[in-house]
Every structure is written in structure tokens, then in C-alpha cells.
């Protein structure tokens, strides 16, 4: 989490003030529930709310206390007592630090997930708009980086749309994984705290109740959360790499928007580099990197150890902030992406019609030629184009005695019709967008 | 995937014969659909089934052909033509290798997921049985490896049960992610193959239709699948480490079953080592390791490259076989785990009652002592026990002037009641198992 | 990199001001070399040094310019021109941004490595001191968490010393990997810059010359650097986990220093938790996590892409700051570690002498009993102690008819001599420390 | 480790027969040393060698015994006793299984490293040959995938040569890390075995003595080994990706050798795909993936646990076999790589001379134009070419009033001389190869 790659919306979730605010709310809701159960005086709960509701917590003061106590929650409670007064002794009754910390982490991750889902909605909207814009813009499909058969630029974006729709569904599931509340005491037995306190706080904080905890909320939940972020980041990387490929000098079918005043290179004034998508590639590596410590955090010792804590203090903000930034950057990139249909057409025609080789192959087999022979006939002509001997695949086929014995010129020409490749674009769009 | 850690059930899914069988089924179902659409003769489709249905594919022969063609699907189709005869030219019409390969991978991963879910059902049954057996077996709960407060051994197993229930739900979701079928041709445009062929094959193979593919099924699906396996493995590791801890010489609250004839150490005849759970720890590391390449496989170039293939040839079998083996081993381990309630009791009593310190703290605050003073009074007595000065925390408290000024001997004694910690075990069991 | 886990010494290396200072020095040294070669006026080089040497660069101003140019080096050069005046046009002649950026990264990583090596020297000193202090403090050696045979606490620390000596040598090698300078121009051909400029700057900045670069310094160097940090972190984790084990309630052979005023738990006043070593475990996870993006950064496209940059802006500071903090924390922990020889002795005696089983086994084979029979005889007595039937392994052996037929009581007793296990401690210390 | 990606040379190192052979040698050398020390009869040591030297160990029989003893070394020793007879009781005296296992692993990894170093020598030879072949073959250097400035294809290969030279040095260092011998007994104290036995076995097996072990050889050594393999794999990936880029349809500057009979695509007969380099990309992902478990294996509990074992049974063979296969495949690929200098020239000229923009920029500043103005003048002309308005950058410059005011036509033309970019190729070759 560095300022350069941080949006304030997500950073705010991880701000100390936000954290202490959530801590306060958990403690105050718990006090309400305890008051309701007759465990603490109703007046005490009221006072806690009255004094704390609008308090701005003094982060420096809390840090100062922590330097003595070496315990962050105790430091906060001490500061809270300074604000609330003697009624503060009814705060945190029978609770343990992790009740507060883990439930807070749940709230923060849930809010972070909400932001990420909103980011995805923005990205999906941009992808949909551009996909329909270019639904029928022909472009060459490539496998192995080699021209394969025609497709459309809209289909490329539909692929991304479908992928990020899955990403959205995964994030919603991941949010559910971590949005739980545990107020279960020292080892999760509710020895000193009534389970109804947990239920009350959960409801108030918009969380579900953790069925069984062991002082801590089990870390398989968080592992699943961060693993999901890693998968979403991998999808970001995929689209970023697509754009980097399209912007290559020799390809130049699309280009990142290049603002006035921008300099591509300090040394080479002619350059326009896909720096945003390269940047996204690197950011994706980071979000993916955080999956490993999250997986290692699961196997805490017995009812808990605190080894996960230092890792989570980093990956909690780092993973969510970085993915949030990446998604928003990607959205802007897609939104303003410069698309060059003419270059797409030029590239498409580049191999002298070679991209239609499969259609010719099928036409031959339909005339009764064995698959092996058909393949051999087509390949020998294709290789001439590939090798630079000719740039007119159709002419070669028409001149090939084996081929012409089976296919007329008109039949050969029919295989070179681009429309053939676009006839199911609508079908696919309906599948992906529910409309075409 | 090495024999030592492989169960035949899972290995069978990855057997070449199984793979070729699935390839055949996909091709034959596709031929049916094409016959129905009038693209290939109905007789051809029938012949393909008739000749291929009970064929045993000659793996060595296919390998031999592949050495020439350097293409596995073409090698198979050539061999299939040897079996089916001239009608074979109607096989694979308009399809591309990835249509077969990726759909097959989907079938294999779905079957693997089924096996893993069944493994989890076995594990959950074992955990539930042992959890109820030890529902009220008291044991010390530990945080940071340090005695905290009492819990029960049944609760420890309930924690594992809840965690593996989540693992099961995650696996079911992960199965759904990858159980898709794509028969969409060279770059996913259905240029040479009707979308209805895909729908037919999907239905017949028990898969859902991939909404949009690009020759390949998008790899974010597989990344999510392997990431999920990694999270499940992390949960395996957690339970394995719990057992390793419980079997430590100084703890010895539970122990792996030790069969007659088994030797713990070639040098030290007295040893009984938790080798199964240590083994599971290592296996979990492997399953987690496969997450990274799965994440890196997502960003294929353009409509596809084949960099994912070599990685998947390894992690497909390796991850599923290893996790399957681990889950079954863990199930046996839990099923036969030797549990020592007497040792649990002994350890529980070890700190001279220190584990009740929180209850005393709360009792003091309820008498109006400030939280800070209560904490200080309890801590100063606790530290004497910790330091070895005394082994009777209760006696120390009774002798402490500040404490005795607030709590009578009877009140102090009441805080040391073990039952206090067990009163909500039923509540938790009902949450986890739906019964108590 | 969060304040909580950051030491100012390491943070300073990554400070913007430090970075701009290094940028300036590289540019100014390059100007010197160019002046010497007659490429720029000698006066210009002098002016650059004169104006820039003591300048404080205005970070906010540079950021402001960067918002327009979207290029950090150009922003800096523009600001430098504001400081230096018209002579600034001789700065950066024929150079490319990466010449500055990558050489700077080399300087920063080299300085970071120096700090880490110094950290290790501190740690090694602490380990050596404590190792000699406890050279002959007997303690039980454990394999699989199970008592094996006696060792000494000093040997445990000698093991750590040897491991961190290796860590030190690895870091020195890793430093050498990254401490290179490249001033080779746009694609590394020295088209616009003389190789002697690179040689001059390298010498002045304490770096070696990069033999061949491609605008960027090759990232395999950095991958090796961060991989090495990951291995060092793994060693930190190993020692941290050893301490966590030793502090377990049932073991309590050593303990982290516990300062006055410290609170172990907000709820349980009796607790003293190994929080520092748990913290180190988590920090180690993070340093290890950064290895993966560093490995992924190697395969840049062609002569360079900038995908590594965002990742390195994070892992550069994060990995070095976190490892630095961890090493210093570990040093303090070892330095002040509370060691309890009495508890070690108590644990050692816990198994009724079972830890001597191998010696009895060997004594029997030396009397001509087959290895298999010896093993069986010893094991059957050992299992009685293990199972709790007896707590006196020696008595059992003396009463075993097979054993007593081969070994006299005196011979049996001789096998229980602790000194037997300590006789080579000096040998090992001499190997590790060069003295005993 | 799957047959498809395995070379027999490396597989042989991991063969059970090889493993048992090494086990035997360690035990027999240890017996020699013990005989020399008078611990076992000299005759016994002789008999062990005599009976075992040429024995073929019965792997099935050992497996059978292990199914009962659940301990592989004991199973082997039992089988060895069947071969050697009663003298076998002098085998393994005072040793522990790990003495054999870990020293064997050291031998295997050292042999694997030797093979990998030999692979690298082959690769370096191929790179050197092709580098000199194309030392002056001009090609465009690309940053961000965008044309930057000219370089030569030989320089590209020199970059790879330098990188794999570093890889070789790293592997030699990594080999040294793991080539150690430990025969130190149950917890590494030499209680039952004389350190001179270790010294003797180490010398005979070509290993160095492990200064201090704890039953096991410390796993930081192995972590460093596998981390190094991961870095080497990352370099493989880099070169593979370079080739994939060069083979792209639009670029086609180089191409993997395409054998007669090879089929690029089952559906598209025209395709020639870079499948080997894509395959290498995937294999590199796997070798890199094994770094994480190797790092996690370091923190074994106390004097050892066995969690590393299952992971190492996989990554030992998998990482070395896969990297060996990849290096040999890469060597063949480089050796037979089809290089197309004409296409390189065509691409180089593609941007109408834009690649010379930096030289013009510098020429302007040398005429006294400020850097900022120069940049603006050059950029405004460059953007016209970039945008497709013109394809003749030189003509645009000549027509630009600001530019022509400072540079004559001849001066402008001089900036477009390709030789300018090649003048230091020899310098670089001498740095990299020691000759030019």
C-alpha cells in the first residue's frame, strides 16, 4: 500500500480512526446486549454511547499507552475510559481482544469487498459499452500469438466481461466468507459472555454469527478471501496483457489513451507505451503474492496464535487497496481505450487469406477427401504463404491440382467469406450480456 | 503424484485410458449432434459409437503417432480412424483440439471434485462421531501455546467439523466453476461448428455450456479451482498441526494410532511419532504450492497460448491426487486417534488454577473495582504461580489483602468451577451439527 | 512496510529524498565523465555539482510536475533544471530513465544489504554469547515433537548460529548480484552514451559495471536477491518457532523477556505469551511472499517492459524493511531470552530414562544380540513407560529376563549417563565458532 | 515429474535402485570408518562391501517389509541383512535414519546440480555460437513492446548468455550448499557415533562435513537450492517469452524449427506455433512453484520433524527433472532457431525512422536548444508518424521550421545512420564472452 497506487476510498477503511470507530461500535453494541441481559447497568450502556458516539479517538494517545502496555486493545480501552469515565469498567466484560479485532477485520474486509464489487460493476459497464461498440469490428483471433481465424473486437471484450462477471460472483461469495462476528471469549466457549451478545453485535454490524470460534475467527475464511482476490487479480493481468499485445508497434490495434503533456520516454520522444497495462501486470503480481501468506495463516496453533496478525496488518490493506486501484485503473483504461479498426483489418488481411485454411480443410473433407489428405493439401499451400513465397493463399489453392479437382473456384472463394465467422456473434452476446 | 501418496480411485481419473475414453465420448456425442443437424451422415455417427464404444485405445500406438505429428489430439484421431474406419473423417468436424482437451479437463476435474467431496463427507462423519464422543471431555484451551481457559476436546473437533463443512461447500462451488464444456472452434466463434453441438455434448457429459470461449475455456476457472484446493489443504494442515501438538511428549493428550510392528525410529525404540500428521503437513504444502502456477496460467495470450498445458499436466493430477490422499489419511487418523482424557485433565490442572484468572478479574470488576486495579491484583498473584513460587493460585488470591477485601473465600472458590466453561457447549454443537 | 514494523535506518534508504539524492549523484557523476570525454563542457559538470550538491529536492514540486508529465525521471530533471539553471541541459545526455532508476535501485539494495548484514552480525553475536553461556546446559532433543535424546541448549543456539552464518554469506552474495550500474542508453547499445561514462559512475557509486543491459538491469539479479531474503526469513521463522515451542506452558524451557507493565491478554491476567516470536513468524511469511513476484518480474518483454516497476516499488522497501525489523527483533529476543535450565532438566527426566533407549539397544547388539531382537526387547519395555504403566525405564530393563541375560545392572546403568551425550559438544562448537 | 517432460539421465538419479545404492555406500563407508576406529570388526566391514557391492536391491521386497515396519530405512536394513548375513548387525551402528536419508539427498542433489550445470554449458555454447553468428544482424530493440532503438540479434543472445552465465554460477553455489554429509546420530550430538565416521563418509561420497546437524541437515540449505532453481527457471521463461514474441505473426523475426510431419493445429493447417517456448513457459512456472514449499520446509520443529519429507519426495525429482528437461529443450530450440534477418530489417524500417528520434533530440540540445523544447519539437513530428499521417519521419523533420533552423538536412540525415547503434557491439561482446 503506497500512495501512488492507493485510492482514498479504500485507504479510509484501513485508517486507524475507522478502526477505532468500529472497535467502539462493537464494544458499545455489546454493552447494549449485556444491559438487555442485565449483566451491566442499562445506564452504563447509555453513557458509553453518549460519550463515545461522536468522539474522535486520539490515535497518538492510544499509541502512547500501547508503548507501555504492548497491547493495542488494552490501550484503546484505557483511552476509551478517559472519554467515557467510570462507566467504562462495564465495557469489554467477559470479552477478549480478538472478539473486537476479528469482528473488526470482518467489517473492514466486508466493506473492502463492497468497494471491490462496485469497482467491478464499473468495469463491467465499461466493458459492456465497448463490447457493443465493437461487436462487429472484425479482428484476427490469435492462438500461440499466431494468426488463427477471424473474430471481433467486441467478442474479445465479451470474453473479459464474462470473466469479470465470474470475478464479481466470486467476490460476493468471498465477502460472505469473512463477514462474520465472533464474541465468544477467551477460547470461544462463551464462558464469560452470553452468546446473545454475539448475536446482537453481529446483527448490528451487518455480519453473520460465527458458528464456532476459538478466540479467533478461523483463518480458512480469510485464506479463501485473499485467494479470491488473487484470482481476480489474475483476470486483471489477463486483460492488461491483451492490451499490451494489441499496442505492440507491429500490431497497434488498440492503444492506451495518451494525454497531452504525457511523455512516453525521457530519451525517445516518439514513444507511446502501454504503461498503464504494464503497471496493472505488476500490481496483479502483488495481489497474487498475498495469497501465499494468507494460506500459511490458516494453521494457527491450538485455539490461536498471533502469527497471522503481522501478516494481516500488511495484506489486509495491501491486497484490497492494490486490487481496488487496479480495477479502477483498468476501468479507465477500457473506457478510454483507443481502438483502431483499420489496423485490425490490415492485420487480418496480412497472411493472404491463410486464416481461412480450416474452412478449406472442412470443405475438402465434405467432398469426401480424407482428413489426412485434406490437411496435407492445405498445409502445403499454407506453408508457401508462411514462408513468403506467395502472399495469395486463394490463388495457390486454385492452382493446386488436388484441390481444384475437388473444389471449384467459386467454392474456394466461398471459404474466404468473413461473414462466416461473425454469424454467431449475436448468439454469444446473448449468452454473455443477455442481449445482442 | 507419486505412488506412495496416491489412491487408485483418483489416479484412475488421470489414466491415459480414461482420458482417451472421454475424448472419444466427446467426439462421438459431437458427431451425434452434427448428424442431428444434418452436417454429417447419421450412419457415420452410429458407426463411430458402434466401433468405438467398447474399444480399448492403444496408448502405445497413440504415443507412436504423436512422436511424428507432435500433436496429441491428431495422434488420437489418427488412431481412432484405425478403429472406426473411413467414417472417421466425420469426426472432429469444425472442432479444434482444445474443444476436446478443455472439455475433457472439465470432466476430469469435476470427477476429481466429486471424489474430494466424498472424502470430505467421510472426514466430516469421523469428526462428528469423535466430537460427540468427547463433547464434554474437558481440556485446556491454549492461545499462543500458553494455557488460556478450559474447553472440551469435542469443541476442538467441532471447530474442525465446521471448517471442513466450509471446505465442502467451497469444493462444490469450485466444481461448478470448472465443469463446463466448450465446443466453439478455432477462436471460439462457432465459425465451423454449430453452438447446438456444444449444447448437446455439454448435456451428455454432465457439464454446463461455457458462455464464451476463445479456443480454450478461460483459465480463471481453473485458477479458482486450484486456489480452492489450496485453501482446503491449509485446513488439513491446521488439523494435522493440532494433532502434532497434542502428541508432543510434554502434552500427550492425543496420539496417532500406532500399529503392532510399527517402528517409530530406527535408532530409538521408545519413540512413537506423529508421522501421519507430519506427512499431512508436507502434503498440504504441495497442494498449496500448485496455486501459484494456476494463478499464472490465467493470463494466456490473446485467444490462447499453450503455456498452461505443461503446468496443468502436472498440477491437474498432482493437486487432486495429493489432496485426495491427504483427506483420506486424515479421516483414518481422526477415526482411530487415541485420546487421553486423563492427560488432558492433568494438563488442565497444571497451572494451579491460573486458567481461572479471567473469572476472578470479572468478579472483582463486578464488585466495583476498576478494570485496571482488578487486572493488576490478579496479575501479581498469577505471576507468582507462573514463576514457580507457588502452585496454588486460589490460595494466593485468598491471602491477597486487596482481593479478600472484595471477595469472600466462597466467592473466590466459585470462580474455579470447571462447569462454568462447559455451559454453552450444547449451544455451539447445535450451531455446528444441528443437534447437541 | 508499515510503521509498526519499520526501523528508521532502513526506511531512510527508501525515502524520496534519498532516492533523489542518488539520482542526482548518478547524473552529476555522469556529467563529470562526459566532461572528461569532451561531450559536455567541463564548466557545466562543475555547475551541476555546485548547485546540486547541497540542494534539498522539493518532493512536492517533483510530484506536481509528474502529475503533468506522468514520468518520474523527467519530473525530477525538470526540477533539477530549476535548481541548476541552463547548464541542466547537459544533464542526462544520451541516457535513459532506466539508467538512473536501475542504478539507483542497485545502490538502494546494496545499502539495504549492508544493513541486513550488520543486523546478522548483531544476531550472530547474541547467538554466540548465549550459546557459550549454555554450552553445557542439558536439555532434551526432540524429533517429531517427541523426546529423542539429550542435547544442550548451547547446541541449539550453535545450530542457529551456523544457519545465520550461512544466511550472512548468502546475503553478501546477493548484494553482489544487485550492486551493478548500467548507463547504456535506450536499449543498452551505448548508442548515445560512451561506455566509459558507465564505468566512471559505477566506480563512484561503489557498484560494478553491468556487462550487458537492455535499457534495464536484468531482473534475474533482483529475483536472486529477493529469493535470498526469503531464505533468510525462513531461518528467522525456524528460530522463532523453536522459541514458541520452548515457551509452551507444558515445556517452559525458555521465555521471551516480559517487561514490567506488559499485558499478555486483555482478558486473562495470568498469560505470558511468546508474541515476539509469533510476530516474527508472520513477518517471515511476508518476506517469503515477496519472492514470487520477484521471480515473475524476470521475464520482461524484449529489451524491457515496466511491469516489474510497480511490484518493485512495493517489495523493494517491504522486503528489506520487514526483514531488517525481524532480524533486529530476533536479536533482542535472543539477547534477553529467559532460559530455564531447571525446567529443561525436569523435562529431560520426564520419560523415566526412555531417552536412553538407543544406548541400551546398541549395548545389546554389541553383546551379539541381533539388531531386530535388541529393538524388540527395548521397545517392549519402552512402551510400558510410554503407556504410563511405569515411570522407571531402567528398573524395567533390569527386570527383563532377555536384557539381564546380556547386560549386568552396572552395564545397564552405564547407558543412562548424560555425559555420554555431551562428549562431542566441544567438537561441534569448534566447527561452528572456531573455538570451544 | 511426468515421462513427457523427463530425461532418463536425470530420472536415473531419483530411481529407487540409485537411492538404495547410495544408502548402501553410506552404510558401508560408515562401517569402514567404524572398523578403523575399532568399533566394529574389520571383517564385518569387509563382508558388507563384499556382499553388497554388486547386489541388486530388491525394491519390491523392501516395499513389502516397509508395509509392516512403516519405516523405509529399517526396511532397507532388513533387506540388506538378508543379503549380507549376520555381519549386518554391525551396519548402521549408532546412526539414525536421517544420517542415511539426508546424506543421500545431498548426493542426489549434487548429482542433479552437476547435470544442470552441464545442461547450462550446452545452452551457453549454443547461445554463444548463435550470438556470434548474428553479432551484427540489425534488429529493432523494443521497450514496452514498442519500437525503441536499433540493436542486434547477437546482442539479444549475448544478454541471454550473460544471464545464463550467472545462472551457472548460482547453480554451482547452490550445489555447494546442499552437498554436505551428516552422520551425527539421533539429535546430532555424536552420542553414539564418532565424528570421524562422518568425516570419512563425507570424503568418500564427495561431500563436505555438515558442521552441526540436528538429526537432519538443516533445510535452509535446500531452500536455497530450490530457490536457485526457481531463479534459473525464471531466466528460461524470459528467453522463451522472447522467442514467442519474435515468432508472432506480425513480428516473425525468428521461429522455432518446424520438423517435417509436424502439425501445428488439428484445425488450422497453416499454423506454425511456438509450442516449445510456450511449453517452457509452463515448465518454468512449475519449477518456480516448488520454491514455496522448499521455503516452508525450513522451520522444522526442534531437532527435526518429518513434514519436509513428503514435500521433498515430490520437489526433489520434480524440480530437477523439470528444469533439466527445460534447459535441454531450450538448448535445442536455440540451436535450431530459424532467424529471419530480412524480417528484422523490415520491422526496423517500419516506423519511418522514428527509432532515431532520440538522436535528433540530442543533436538539437547540442545545438543549444533546451531539452524541453527539443523534446517537444521531436515529439510533435513523431506523433504524426505514430498516428499514421506520414511514414517519413526524416522528411517531417526537414520540413519543421524549428528543427531546420538548428539542423541542416545533412545533419538530420546523419542522425539516421544505423551504424551509430552498432559501434559498441564489440565492447559488449568482449565484456560478455571475453572476445568479440
Domain with B210 in it: what CATH number? 1.20.200.10
| List of chain A residues whose C-beta atoms are within 8 Å of the C-beta of residue B170 | 224
Q: Are residues B295 and B377 in the same domain?
A: no
Q: How many CB pairs under 8 A join A and B?
A: 303
Catalytic residue among B265, B310, B370, B436: B265
Give percent of chain A above pLDDT 90.
84
Average pLDDT over all residues of chain C: 94
Q: Are residues D167 and D275 in the same domain?
A: yes
Closest chain B C-alpha to D151 CA, distance in angstroms: 26
pLDDT over 70 (residue B267): no
Query: Which stretches of D57-152 are DSSP H helices?
Result: 59-69, 72-84, 97-133
Indicate the residue among D349, D367, D401 that finishes a domain: D349
Q: What is the mean pLDDT of residues B323-327?
A: 98
Indicate the residue among D325, D349, D373 that finishes a domain: D349
Q: Are residues B248 and B343 in the same domain?
A: yes
- Judged by DSSP in three states, A369 sits in coil
Q: Are residues B50 and B186 in the same domain?
A: no
Catalytic residue among D71, D208, D265, D310: D265
Q: How confident is the model at residue A265 (pLDDT cuts 50, 70, 90)?
A: low
Instruction: Evaluate whether residue B273 is within a structural domain.
Output: yes
Residue of D nearest to B306 (CA): D278
The grid cell for D190 is 555424536
Catalytic residue among D71, D79, D97, D144: D144
Q: What is the mean pLDDT of residues D38-47?
A: 95
Cα B290-B293-B294 angle, rounded to 5 deg? 80
For strands D208-209 and D180-181, give the pairing. Answer: parallel
- Torsion angles phi and psi, residue C391, rounded to 5: -120, 20
Average pLDDT over all residues of chain D: 94
Q: Left (φ > 0), alpha (ψ -120 to 50) or beta: where does C353 sit? A: left
Contact B285 D262 (CB under 8 A): no
Burial class of residue A434 (count of CB atoms within 10 Å of its CB; 0-12, 13-18, 19+) = exposed
Contact C4 A74 (CB under 8 A): no
pLDDT over 90 (residue A359): no
Closest chain A C-alpha to C264 CA, distance in angstroms: 8
Tell whether ipTM is more than 0.85: yes
Instruction: Evaluate whether residue B262 is within a structural domain.
Output: no
Closest chain C C-alpha to B108 CA, distance in angstroms: 29
Q: Are residues A148 and A233 in the same domain?
A: yes
Residue owning grid cell 520452548:
C246
| List of chain D residues whose C-beta atoms are within 8 Å of the C-beta of residue B74 | 263, 266
Q: What is the mean pLDDT of residues C410-416?
A: 92
Largest CA distance in chain A: 101
| List of chain D residues whose C-beta atoms are within 8 Å of the C-beta of residue C189 | 141, 149-151, 155, 421-422, 424-425, 428
Contact C275 B249 (CB under 8 A): no
Q: Are residues B317 and B358 in the same domain?
A: no
Which of A192, A218, A245 has the CB atom closest to B302's CB atom?
A245
Residue length of chain D: 436
Q: How many CB pairs under 8 A join C and D?
A: 299
Catalytic residue among A208, A265, A310, A370: A265
Mutate one of D266, D281, D299, D321 to test the B interface: name it (highest B CB count within 10 A).
Answer: D266
Output the pLDDT for position A73.
Answer: 92
- Judged by DSSP in three states, A363 sits in helix
For residues C33 and C23, the answer to whether their CB atoms sit within 8 Å is no
Contact A309 C282 (CB under 8 A): yes
Structural domain total, chain D: 3
| List of chain B residues whose C-beta atoms are within 8 Å of the C-beta of residue A354 | none
Interface partners of chain C (CB pairs < 8 Å, 3 or more) are: A, B, D
| List of chain C residues whose C-beta atoms are within 8 Å of the C-beta of residue D348 | none
b/e map of D405-423 (b: 16 or more CB within 10 Å)?
Answer: ebbeeebbeebeeeebbbe
| List of chain A residues whose C-beta atoms are within 8 Å of the C-beta of residue B150 | 187, 189, 191
Distance in angstroms (rounded) separating the CA atoms of residues B66 and B79:
10
Q: Out of A386-390, D113-117, D235-239, which region has the weakest mean confidence (pLDDT)?
A: A386-390
Contact B187 A143 (CB under 8 A): yes
Q: How confident is the model at residue A341 (pLDDT cuts 50, 70, 90)?
A: very high
Instruction: Evaluate whether residue C236 is within a structural domain.
Output: yes
For the segment D377-398, what is each residue's pLDDT rounded down to a tens digit?
A: 998 998 888 777 888 899 999 9
Q: How confident is the model at residue A268 (pLDDT cuts 50, 70, 90)?
A: low
Which of C92, C299, C424 has the CB atom closest to D241's CB atom?
C299
Residue of D nearest to B96 (CA): D267
Which residue in D335, D297, D119, D332 sits closest to D221, CA to CA? D297
Instruction: Evaluate whether residue D387 is within a structural domain.
Output: yes
Q: Are residues B165 and B293 in the same domain?
A: yes
Q: Are residues A218 and A286 in the same domain?
A: yes
pLDDT over 80 (residue A110): yes
For the segment D159-194, what is each residue's pLDDT rounded down to a tens digit?
A: 999 999 999 999 999 999 999 999 999 899 999 899
Closest chain C C-alpha to B369 CA, distance in angstroms: 15
Closest chain A C-alpha to D382 CA, distance in angstroms: 5
Give percent of chain B above pLDDT 90.
84
Distance in angstroms (rounded) separating the CA atoms of residues B219 and B180:
12
Closest chain C C-alpha to A68 CA, distance in angstroms: 6
Q: How confident is the model at residue B227 (pLDDT cuts 50, 70, 90)?
A: very high
Q: Are residues B435 and B301 in the same domain?
A: yes
Contact A310 C96 (CB under 8 A): no
Closest chain D C-alpha to A389 CA, distance in angstroms: 14
Which residue in D287, D308, D288, D305 sits closest to D297, CA to CA? D308
β-strand partners of D150: D140
The grid cell for C212 is 550487458
Interface partners of chain B (CB pairs < 8 Å, 3 or more) are: A, C, D
Which of A92, A261, A311 has the CB atom closest to C69's CB atom?
A261
For the segment A162-171, what is each residue's pLDDT rounded down to a tens digit?
A: 999 999 999 9
Distance in angstroms (rounded) separating the CA atoms of residues A283 and A233:
8
| List of chain A residues whose C-beta atoms are within 8 Å of the C-beta of residue D272 | 146, 386
Residues 6+ apart with CB under 8 A from B396: B381, B384, B385, B390
Which of A166, A220, A284 has the CB atom closest to B163's CB atom?
A220
Indicate the residue among D75, D93, D111 that finishes a domain: D93
CA atoms within 13 A on the CB side of A378: 33
CATH number at residue A12: 1.10.275.10
Q: Are residues D380 and D250 in the same domain?
A: no
- Torsion angles phi and psi, residue D172, rounded to 5: -60, -40
For the segment C293-318, what is each residue's pLDDT rounded down to a tens digit?
A: 999 999 999 999 999 999 999 999 99
For the segment D279-332, what is each residue's pLDDT rounded down to a tens digit?
A: 999 999 999 999 999 999 999 999 999 999 999 999 999 999 999 999 999 999
The grid cell for C246 is 520452548
| List of chain D residues whose C-beta atoms are within 8 Å of the C-beta of residue A296 | 296
pLDDT over 90 (residue B212): yes
Which domain does C203 fall in, by range? 96-345
CATH number at residue D380: 1.10.40.30
Q: Are residues B133 and B37 in the same domain?
A: no
β-strand partners of B255: B338
For residues C171 and C228, the answer to whether their CB atoms sit within 8 Å is yes
Contact A350 D265 (CB under 8 A): no
Instruction: Evaluate whether residue B279 is within a structural domain.
Output: yes
β-strand partners of A138: A152
Q: Are residues C171 and C255 in the same domain?
A: yes
For residues C48 and C83, the answer to whether their CB atoms sit within 8 Å is no
Output the pLDDT for position B260.
Answer: 63
Q: What is the mean pLDDT of residues A94-104?
A: 94
Residues of C with catalytic annotation? 144, 265
For residues A301 and A294, the answer to whether their CB atoms sit within 8 Å is no
Mutate one of C213, C247, C302 to test the D interface: name it (highest D CB count within 10 A).
Answer: C302
Which residue in C250, C89, A263 sits closest to D376, CA to CA? A263
E runs forming strands in D215-366: 254-255, 338-339
Burial class of residue D401 (count of CB atoms within 10 Å of its CB; 0-12, 13-18, 19+) = exposed
| List of chain A residues whose C-beta atoms are within 8 Å of the C-beta of residue B218 | 159, 162-163
Which of A189, A220, A284 has the CB atom closest to B155's CB atom?
A189
| List of chain D residues whose C-beta atoms are within 8 Å of the C-beta of residue C94 | 358, 362
Q: How confident is the model at residue B135 (pLDDT cuts 50, 70, 90)?
A: very high
Output the pLDDT for position D300.
Answer: 97
Residue of C nearest to B351 (CA): C249
pLDDT over 80 (residue C262): no
Distance in angstroms (rounded) separating the CA atoms of residues A343 and B25:
42
Output the pLDDT for position C102.
Answer: 98
Instruction: Evaluate whether residue A263 is within a structural domain.
Output: no
Output the pLDDT for position A192.
Answer: 87
For the segment C344-372, what is each residue's pLDDT rounded down to a tens digit?
A: 999 998 878 888 888 898 899 889 898 88
Neighbouring CB atoms inside 10 A of C65's CB total 18
pLDDT over 80 (residue A199): yes
Q: Out of A76-90, B144-158, C77-91, D366-380, which region has the weakest mean confidence (pLDDT)?
A: D366-380
Instruction: Evaluate whether residue B19 is within a structural domain.
Output: yes
Q: What is the mean pLDDT of residues A253-271?
A: 73
DSSP letters spanning A267-308: S-TT----HHHHHHHHHHHHHHHTHHHHHHTS--STTB-SHH
Active site residue B265: yes
Residue owning grid cell 525404540:
B269
Which residue in A215, A214, A361, A222 sits closest to A294, CA to CA? A222
**First-last CA distance in chain D:** 40
Residue owning grid cell 505488476:
A282
Amino acid at each position: 500500500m503506497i500512495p501512488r497506487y492507493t485510492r482514498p476510498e479504500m485507504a479510509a477503511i484501513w485508517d486507524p480512526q475507522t478502526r477505532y470507530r468500529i472497535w467502539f461500535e462493537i464494544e458499545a453494541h455489546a454493552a447494549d446486549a449485556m444491559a438487555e441481559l442485565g449483566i451491566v447497568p442499562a445506564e452504563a450502556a447509555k453513557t458509553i454511547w453518549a460519550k463515545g458516539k461522536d468522539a474522535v479517538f486520539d490515535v497518538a494517545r492510544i499509541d502512547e499507552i500501547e508503548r507501555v502496555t504492548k497491547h493495542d486493545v488494552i490501550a484503546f480501552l484505557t483511552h476509551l475510559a478517559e472519554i467515557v469515565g467510570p462507566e467504562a469498567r462495564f465495557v469489554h466484560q467477559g470479552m477478549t481482544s480478538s472478539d473486537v479485532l476479528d469482528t473488526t477485520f470482518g467489517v473492514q474486509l466486508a466493506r473492502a469487498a463492497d468497494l471491490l464489487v462496485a469497482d467491478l460493476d464499473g468495469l463491467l459497464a465499461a466493458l459492456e459499452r465497448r463490447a457493443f461498440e465493437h461487436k462487429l469490428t472484425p479482428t484476427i483471433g490469435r492462438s500461440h500469438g499466431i494468426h488463427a481465424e477471424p473474430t471481433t473486437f467486441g467478442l474479445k471484450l465479451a470474453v473479459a466481461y464474462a470473466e469479470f462477471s465470474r470475478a464479481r460472483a466470486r467476490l460476493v461469495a468471498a465477502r460472505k466468507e469473512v463477514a462474520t462476528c465472533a464474541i465468544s471469549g477467551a477460547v470461544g466457549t462463551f464462558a464469560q459472555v452470553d452468546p446473545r451478545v454475539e448475536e446482537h453485535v453481529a446483527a448490528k454490524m451487518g455480519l453473520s454469527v460465527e458458528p464456532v470460534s476459538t478466540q479467533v475467527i478461523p483463518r480458512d475464511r480469510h485464506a479463501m478471501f485473499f485467494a479470491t482476490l488473487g484470482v481476480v487479480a489474475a483476470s486483471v493481468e489477463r486483460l492488461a496483457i491483451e492490451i499490451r499485445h494489441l499496442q505492440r508497434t507491429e500490431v497497434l490495434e488498440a492503444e492506451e489513451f495518451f494525454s497531452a503533456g504525457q511523455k512516453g520516454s525521457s530519451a525517445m520522444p516518439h514513444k507511446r507505451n502501454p504503461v498503464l497495462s504494464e503497471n496493472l501486470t505488476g500490481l496483479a503480481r502483488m495481489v497474487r503474492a498475498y495469497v501465499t501468506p494468507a494460506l500459511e495463516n490458516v494453521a494457527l496453533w491450538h485455539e490461536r496464535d498471533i502469527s497471522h496478525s503481522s501478516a494481516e496488518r500488511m495484506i489486509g490493506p495491501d491486497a484490497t487497496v492494490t486490487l481496488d486501484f487496479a480495477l479502477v485503473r483498468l476501468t479507465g483504461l477500457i473506457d478510454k481505450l483507443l481502438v483502431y479498426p483499420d489496423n485490425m483489418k490490415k492485420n487480418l488481411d496480412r497472411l493472404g487469406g491463410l486464416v481461412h485454411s480450416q474452412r478449406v480443410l472442412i470443405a475438402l473433407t465434405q467432398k469426401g477427401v480424407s482428413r489426412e489428405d485434406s490437411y496435407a493439401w492445405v498445409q502445403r499451400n499454407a506453408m508457401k504463404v508462411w514462408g513468403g513465397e506467395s502472399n495469395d493463399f486463394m490463388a495457390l489453392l486454385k492452382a493446386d491440382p488436388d484441390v481444384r479437382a475437388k473444389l471449384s473456384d467459386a467454392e474456394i472463394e466461398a471459404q474466404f467469406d468473413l461473414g462466416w465467422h461473425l454469424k454467431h456473434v449475436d448468439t454469444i452476446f446473448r449468452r454473455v450480456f443477455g442481449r445482442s
